[in-house]
Amino acid sequence: MVCRVVDGEISLIAYYPDYATALEWYQDRDVVKQVDNREEPYDLPLLKAMYGYLDKNGHLFYIQYQNRLCGDVCLKNDGELAIVICKEYQNKHIGRRVIREMIAFAKELHFREVYATIYSFNGQSQRMFASLGFRKTEEEKYAYRITEE
Protein backbone atom coordinates (compact mmCIF):
# COMPACT_ATOMS: atom_id res chain seq x y z
CA MET A 1 0.00 0.00 0.00
CA VAL A 2 3.07 2.26 -0.13
CA CYS A 3 2.40 5.14 -2.48
CA ARG A 4 5.67 7.00 -2.34
CA VAL A 5 8.98 5.94 -0.87
CA VAL A 6 10.76 8.93 0.64
CA ASP A 7 13.91 7.07 1.68
CA GLY A 8 14.94 3.85 3.44
CA GLU A 9 13.04 4.81 6.59
CA ILE A 10 10.03 6.81 5.40
CA SER A 11 7.13 5.99 3.11
CA LEU A 12 3.92 7.85 2.35
CA ILE A 13 0.82 5.67 2.51
CA ALA A 14 -2.39 6.71 0.75
CA TYR A 15 -5.03 7.77 3.25
CA TYR A 16 -7.43 5.13 4.50
CA PRO A 17 -9.58 5.31 7.64
CA ASP A 18 -7.24 4.38 10.53
CA TYR A 19 -8.85 6.61 13.11
CA ALA A 20 -7.59 4.70 16.15
CA THR A 21 -3.96 5.37 15.24
CA ALA A 22 -4.42 8.93 14.05
CA LEU A 23 -6.63 10.03 16.93
CA GLU A 24 -3.68 9.48 19.29
CA TRP A 25 -1.67 12.19 17.48
CA TYR A 26 -4.58 14.61 17.63
CA GLN A 27 -5.13 13.96 21.34
CA ASP A 28 -1.81 15.59 22.17
CA ARG A 29 -2.55 19.20 23.18
CA ASP A 30 0.89 20.45 22.15
CA VAL A 31 0.62 18.93 18.67
CA VAL A 32 -2.91 20.27 18.19
CA LYS A 33 -1.77 23.73 19.29
CA GLN A 34 1.13 23.62 16.79
CA VAL A 35 -0.99 22.66 13.81
CA ASP A 36 -4.43 24.11 14.52
CA ASN A 37 -3.92 26.66 17.31
CA ARG A 38 -6.53 24.74 19.30
CA GLU A 39 -6.53 24.34 23.06
CA GLU A 40 -8.66 21.19 23.01
CA PRO A 41 -7.66 17.88 21.44
CA TYR A 42 -9.64 16.39 18.59
CA ASP A 43 -12.48 14.00 19.13
CA LEU A 44 -13.42 11.28 16.66
CA PRO A 45 -16.10 13.28 14.76
CA LEU A 46 -13.69 16.20 14.25
CA LEU A 47 -10.92 13.86 13.09
CA LYS A 48 -13.26 12.17 10.60
CA ALA A 49 -14.46 15.54 9.30
CA MET A 50 -10.90 16.84 8.88
CA TYR A 51 -9.71 13.73 7.06
CA GLY A 52 -12.83 13.71 4.89
CA TYR A 53 -12.22 17.33 3.89
CA LEU A 54 -8.50 16.83 3.19
CA ASP A 55 -9.06 13.61 1.25
CA LYS A 56 -11.70 15.28 -0.91
CA ASN A 57 -9.67 18.47 -1.46
CA GLY A 58 -6.15 17.20 -1.89
CA HIS A 59 -3.67 14.33 -1.78
CA LEU A 60 -3.61 12.91 1.74
CA PHE A 61 -1.04 10.44 3.04
CA TYR A 62 -0.02 8.86 6.31
CA ILE A 63 3.67 9.11 7.14
CA GLN A 64 5.24 5.76 7.91
CA TYR A 65 8.60 5.85 9.68
CA GLN A 66 10.42 2.57 10.24
CA ASN A 67 7.17 0.70 9.53
CA ARG A 68 5.09 2.68 12.05
CA LEU A 69 2.52 5.36 11.22
CA CYS A 70 3.60 8.57 12.92
CA GLY A 71 1.78 11.40 11.17
CA ASP A 72 0.06 12.66 8.09
CA VAL A 73 0.72 15.06 5.25
CA CYS A 74 -1.54 16.61 2.65
CA LEU A 75 -0.98 18.56 -0.53
CA LYS A 76 -4.23 20.44 -0.95
CA ASN A 77 -5.54 21.31 -4.40
CA ASP A 78 -4.68 24.99 -3.83
CA GLY A 79 -1.02 24.14 -3.12
CA GLU A 80 -1.13 24.25 0.66
CA LEU A 81 1.00 21.68 2.45
CA ALA A 82 -0.12 20.49 5.87
CA ILE A 83 1.90 18.08 7.99
CA VAL A 84 1.49 16.55 11.44
CA ILE A 85 4.04 14.36 13.17
CA CYS A 86 3.27 12.89 16.58
CA LYS A 87 5.43 14.24 19.36
CA GLU A 88 7.59 11.17 19.94
CA TYR A 89 8.76 11.29 16.30
CA GLN A 90 9.45 15.01 16.08
CA ASN A 91 13.04 16.28 15.77
CA LYS A 92 14.16 13.29 13.71
CA HIS A 93 14.07 15.26 10.42
CA ILE A 94 11.06 13.23 9.28
CA GLY A 95 9.08 16.37 8.42
CA ARG A 96 11.92 17.83 6.39
CA ARG A 97 12.30 14.66 4.35
CA VAL A 98 8.55 14.34 3.82
CA ILE A 99 8.14 17.97 2.72
CA ARG A 100 10.98 17.54 0.21
CA GLU A 101 9.10 14.57 -1.23
CA MET A 102 5.84 16.55 -1.30
CA ILE A 103 7.57 19.34 -3.24
CA ALA A 104 8.71 16.73 -5.79
CA PHE A 105 5.14 15.39 -5.93
CA ALA A 106 3.75 18.91 -6.43
CA LYS A 107 6.22 19.42 -9.28
CA GLU A 108 5.01 16.19 -10.92
CA LEU A 109 1.47 17.60 -10.68
CA HIS A 110 2.66 20.85 -12.32
CA PHE A 111 2.17 23.12 -9.32
CA ARG A 112 4.13 26.35 -9.64
CA GLU A 113 4.14 27.05 -5.92
CA VAL A 114 3.32 25.36 -2.63
CA TYR A 115 2.82 27.02 0.71
CA ALA A 116 2.33 26.29 4.39
CA THR A 117 0.36 28.19 6.97
CA ILE A 118 2.44 28.31 10.16
CA TYR A 119 1.36 30.08 13.32
CA SER A 120 3.69 32.81 14.55
CA PHE A 121 4.44 30.92 17.79
CA ASN A 122 5.48 27.73 15.96
CA GLY A 123 9.18 28.43 15.56
CA GLN A 124 10.01 24.74 15.06
CA SER A 125 7.92 24.53 11.87
CA GLN A 126 9.04 27.96 10.67
CA ARG A 127 12.68 26.89 10.91
CA MET A 128 12.02 23.57 9.18
CA PHE A 129 10.19 25.12 6.22
CA ALA A 130 12.75 27.93 5.94
CA SER A 131 15.58 25.37 5.84
CA LEU A 132 13.91 23.86 2.77
CA GLY A 133 13.77 27.16 0.91
CA PHE A 134 10.31 28.40 1.89
CA ARG A 135 10.09 32.18 2.25
CA LYS A 136 7.79 34.10 4.54
CA THR A 137 5.29 35.90 2.29
CA GLU A 138 2.64 36.88 4.85
CA GLU A 139 2.41 36.91 8.64
CA GLU A 140 1.71 33.17 8.83
CA LYS A 141 2.35 32.03 5.25
CA TYR A 142 5.53 30.46 3.91
CA ALA A 143 5.77 29.80 0.18
CA TYR A 144 8.07 27.79 -2.05
CA ARG A 145 8.38 28.53 -5.75
CA ILE A 146 8.76 25.38 -7.84
CA THR A 147 11.18 25.86 -10.70
CA GLU A 148 11.27 24.04 -14.01
CA GLU A 149 14.46 22.09 -14.54
**What pLDDT does 145 receive?**
97
What's the pTM?
0.93
> Which pLDDT tens digit goes with each residue over 34-48?
888 999 999 999 999
When pLDDT is averaged across residues 111-135 and rounded to a whole number, the result is 95
Pairing of strands 58-65, 10-14: antiparallel
The SS3 assignment for 105 reads helix
CATH topology of domain 2-112: Aminopeptidase (3.40.630)
Domain coordinates in residue numbering, the chain: 2-112
**What pLDDT does 2 receive?**
60
> Is the distance from CB of 146 to CB of 107 less than 8 angstroms?
yes
